[in-house]
Amino acid sequence: MESGSKLYYDTNEVAEMVGCEASALRFWEKKFPQLNPKRDGRNRRRYTERDIEIIRKIMHQKDKQGRTIKGAREQLRRKEESQLLIQRLMRVRKFLVEIQEKL
């Protein structure tokens, strides 16, 4: 199955893509607030590319780095916070550069 060819993927497709059980995806959805697939009209989970990337990060934390669910959740939270901080700092830098150019 080729990633990137569709906007939304169902649970079984994602499980096959990442190499885990569908039940693990449903479990991780409860444990990781970052993983929040949309639901369709029939209440089926629909995963986006962003959701799949989060799942891959969870699997990497768990399998490759040996973290617990709690440790993986904390690591993902810290990474998100640091990315937000970097974005804010870049906006501040852009603003300061604009002010400097006007002086």
For the chain, domains (ranges, CATH) are: 11-102 (1.10.1660.10)
Residue whose C-alpha is closest to residue 20's, from 58, 71, 76: 58
Query: Could you read off the pLDDT of 44-87 as tens digits, one per residue?
Result: 999 999 999 999 999 998 888 888 989 988 988 898 899 999 99
Helix (H) or strand (E) run with residue 77 in it: helix 69-102
What pLDDT score does 62 carry?
87
Note if the pTM is more than 0.75.
Answer: no
Amino acid, single-letter form, for residue 10 = D
Q: Length of the chain in residues, anyone?
A: 103
